[in-house]
Structure 1
Amino acid sequence: MVERAMLIGITLPGEDKQNTRGLLDELRELVATLEIGIVHEREVAIRKPQAKYLVGSGKAEELIEEAKSRDCDVIIFDNELTPAQQRNWEQAAEDKILVIDRQEVILDIFGRRAQTKEAVLQVELARLEYNLPRLKSAWTHLNRQRGGGAIQRDAGETQLELDQRMVRTQISRVKHQLESVIQHREVQRKKRMTVPVPTCAIVGYTNAGKSSLLNKLANSDILAEDKLFATLDPTSRRCPLPSGQPLVVTDTVGFVRNLPHRLVDAFKATLEEAIVSNFLIHVLDVNSPDVEAHAETTLKVLGELGAKDKKIITVFNKIDALWDESTRHELALRYPDAYFISAHTGEGLDSLIDKMEAIIEEDFEQLKLLIPHDRYDLVARLHREGGVRKEEVRDEGTYVTGSVPDRLVTLVEPYVVND
């Protein structure tokens, strides 16, 4: 287990140093989530990326000496390293210091957080695909031997080939298992859709308070911690609205800048709830100095998933911890349709819930009905699939006011009243 880390953020040509600083701050949080001590941080600007180390050889030696002088056992780059670069760094450090990048840190966090079978398989697939091109580097100290006029391979190279074949076999196995789990999820979703209920997915940057918001809306007690990626598996809860309209709300995995694409692909099934939902609640931490960059990251990933055109309610959370009221004012000017709430205290939730109801009602007819007593089955369906605001038993039938989904309009049309 590594215990002492040195973090390195490299500003590439055309990039902003302030952005590098922000990403390095985020990397610090990611590493702290793994409970690794951080003893030193460095920001390096380069004119041109170098193939061997990403930075120049002289700068690489300088950074390695800094790490050794502070007894670091791991160097963590915020920038993505190729397998060859990773091995070159470790060779330069005489294999005394482990060298990894942001991708590997995120994979380790996901590996610790995964709970359901689907999440475990998704993390395993991403890890195998990440490791496959790095196997060759791990065996670079084993050489080919020539003899007898023919090329003969020693045991080391044979072992490398066996390892690669084994990893490819594992990848195929995991993909097959994952397909079965995804099919099972689709069957569950189809069963749920036989009694269609409006759905909403909570999306946003990691640690923005998505799980806390779901707990508040649905009066549930799912895990909500002040940690990055506390929630990996989608969790759905029924959230009855004041109008009586049922709504299923789903908490999804949080996003992060520079999320490895292999993880975006691997977690596509997990994020499908965002794709099939009626609308999205985009949660942002009002106190984050990089809140606008976080918003861009989430919208970018939603675009990759094909969900960016959905109706989105933008929510700034944690106003109970707001230390500068001017921040709220500036964000309100930039995001005039946004809602400012506290999932901890419940402040601002009433306005958010009203907006959620308004979006649902756009797809529902608002009707007043007088349903005969012998058709109480229709009243029961309205309770299950629509929103009943008022129900009153009268001599001539049951008087109902509420939201009626399109599929029920034809059935209840004979019982529409005007008063």
Structure 2
Amino acid sequence: MSNFLDPKRPTTRALLVGVQTPDMKPGEGAELLTELNELVENLGLEISHSTLITLRDRQQPKFLIGTGKAAELMARAKADGADVIVIDEELSPAQQRNWEEESGLAVIDRQEVILEIFADRAQTREAVLQVALARMEYSLPRLTRAWSHLSRQRGKGKMGGEGETQLEQDRRLVRNRITKLKSELAQVISQRATQRIKRQRTPIPGAAIVGYTNAGKSTLLNKLTGASVLAADKLFATLDPTTRQLVLPDGRTLLLTDTVGFIRRLPHRLVEAFKATLEEVVVADFLIHLLDAANPNIDQHHATTLAVLGELGAADRPTLTVFNKTDLLDEHTLARLRAQHPDALFISVHTGAGLDELLRHCEALATDDTEAADLLIPHSRYDLVAKLHGIGHVKQQESLDDGTHLTGRFPKKFAALYTPFILNPKPAPKKQPAGKRPSATRR
């Protein structure tokens, strides 16, 4: 990886290059360049200049773009005092090496920018391992960049030159590091799977909040559950899934999970590395697909999220489409979105508008195997009271003269425990005498 983010260096200046290719929709290159601006700013880099290049043909093997245009951009970067050129396309290792040899500057692509942001945001052991693995796999074919000053020292014989020997040693080190990271990550994944199995033993439904990065997922989780998950106005503020309990209006409990945000052109190696984290999406009973209604690129964000869900194998999950930040919209835009998405919900986490309707829809989708019950437990059975608190959701508890009165929802598979203590149980349906049919009610 490049060392342009070395904290000992003064503020790094970056020249950004967007690319519009023949297979892209008109204007898509400019939108992606705007997004790249935000990504680069999240790294703490100063943007000296940004420009959009239109390619008539993607087959430009040396620099991805034409040689003349590449030379022009290199000259512009040096004139602006830029330390790094950021290209909003995936560069092959050879193209990246060509750029750096010609310009004498660090040159990175969109993949490396996103990898650096993930590395900066990772907090937990699992996220750190996942990002480290993705970075190592990205850098392995690019190791020649680090040893270009030795590449001409080629000796004779089986051992080759100094540069060749050092490069091979580094490749072995990186491969060994990748193997070690995969082993450590497998242990963490196993621990997460064990935790998930323990949660699933309790019949509590679960939902996952998914969506484009910076759509307000963590803010929604905090608002609904009273949690204190980091919710910042920046891309990829949350990398690790966070699960909190949400008590629905009908008294049932829902496990609500906040997930890492998606983005267009999310590097495939990051999707692979974070599959263990994103498995929370696959095992959820339903998804809450949150969209930033005030973002002008909302259609692309919607399509990107659906594409990543399909790659994860979660496209068939029941999904609530929810538009957030409606308080920032004018009436015309809001009416247009409602007409385009008649089955969607429209909320504002900031003002609280629409959250009650969202909770009602969550109730409808939160399928579980519990039932509401009104119980009176004798004082001699405090052990049962404690157990019912553990396996179900007690909405109300009151100590009376003849026992403890509990109101709540409890798993049907434990019905044998609490059925004897149900207050006013429903009478069992009467059996009809053999050979007789119930008479029809006259109207």
TM-score normalised according to structure 1 size: 0.90
Query: Which of 180, 193, 200 is residue 193 of structure 1 equivalent to?
Result: 200
In the aligned structure 1, how far is the partner of 2:388 from the partner of 2:320? 26
Which ranges in structure 2 are unaligned for 5 or more consecutive residues? 1-8, 428-443
Look up the equivalent residue of 1:64 and give its one-letter code.
M
Alignment of 1:251-262 (within 5 A): 251-262=258-269
Aligned: 1:8 with 2:17: yes
Aligned: 1:176 with 2:186: no
Query: Which of 38, 51, 62 is residue 61 of structure 2 equivalent to?
Result: 51
State whether residues 246 and 385 of structure 1, in contact with CA within 8 Å, keep that contact through their aligned partners in structure 2. Answer: no
Q: 1:123 to 1:146 in 2, by over 3 A?
A: closer
Which ranges in structure 1 are unaligned for 5 or more consecutive residues? none
Aligned: 1:91 with 2:82: no
Which residue does 1:335 correspond to in 2? 341
State whether residues 24 and 78 of structure 1, in contact with CA within 8 Å, keep that contact through their aligned partners in structure 2. Answer: yes
Aligned residues: 413
State whether residues 204 and 368 of structure 2, in contact with CA within 8 Å, keep that contact through their aligned partners in structure 1. Answer: no
In the aligned structure 1, how far is the partner of 2:27 from the partner of 2:215? 22
Bigger mean CA deviation after superposition, 306-315 or 102-111: 306-315
Bigger mean CA deviation after superposition, 382-391 or 346-355: 382-391
Q: 1:367 to 1:79 in 2, by over 3 A?
A: same
Amino-acid identity (%)? 53
Which residue does 2:355 correspond to in 1? 349
In the aligned structure 2, how far is the partner of 1:409 from the partner of 1:355? 27
Look up the equivalent residue of 2:282 and give its one-letter code.
I
In the aligned structure 1, how far is the partner of 2:259 from the partner of 2:288? 11
Look up the equivalent residue of 1:289 and give its one-letter code.
P
Alignment of 1:251-330 (within 5 A): 251-322=258-329, 324-330=330-336
Look up the equivalent residue of 2:135 and give its one-letter code.
R
1:379: how far off? 6.8
Alignment of 1:150-161 (within 5 A): 150=157, 153-161=160-168
State whether residues 9 and 42 of structure 1, in contact with CA within 8 Å, keep that contact through their aligned partners in structure 2. Answer: yes
Which residue does 1:32 correspond to in 2? 41
Secondary structure of the residue that 1:237 maps to in structure 2? strand
Look up the equivalent residue of 1:9 and give its one-letter code.
G
Q: 1:255 to 1:309 in 2, by over 3 A?
A: same
In the aligned structure 1, how far is the partner of 2:325 from the partner of 2:221? 14
In the aligned structure 1, how far is the partner of 2:303 from the partner of 2:383? 47
Bigger mean CA deviation after superposition, 68-77 or 193-202: 193-202
Look up the equivalent residue of 1:132 and give its one-letter code.
L
Q: 1:389 to 1:355 in 2, by over 3 A?
A: farther
Look up the equivalent residue of 1:116 and give its one-letter code.
T
1:143: how far off? 2.7
In the aligned structure 2, how far is the partner of 1:152 from the partner of 1:171? 25
State whether residues 145 and 151 of structure 1, in contact with CA within 8 Å, keep that contact through their aligned partners in structure 2. Answer: no
Look up the equivalent residue of 2:61 and give its one-letter code.
A
Higher radius of gyration, 1 or 2: 2
Q: 1:172 to 1:240 in 2, by over 3 A?
A: same
In the aligned structure 2, how far is the partner of 1:356 from the partner of 1:388? 19
TM-score normalised according to structure 2 size: 0.85
In the aligned structure 1, how far is the partner of 2:332 from the partner of 2:412? 45
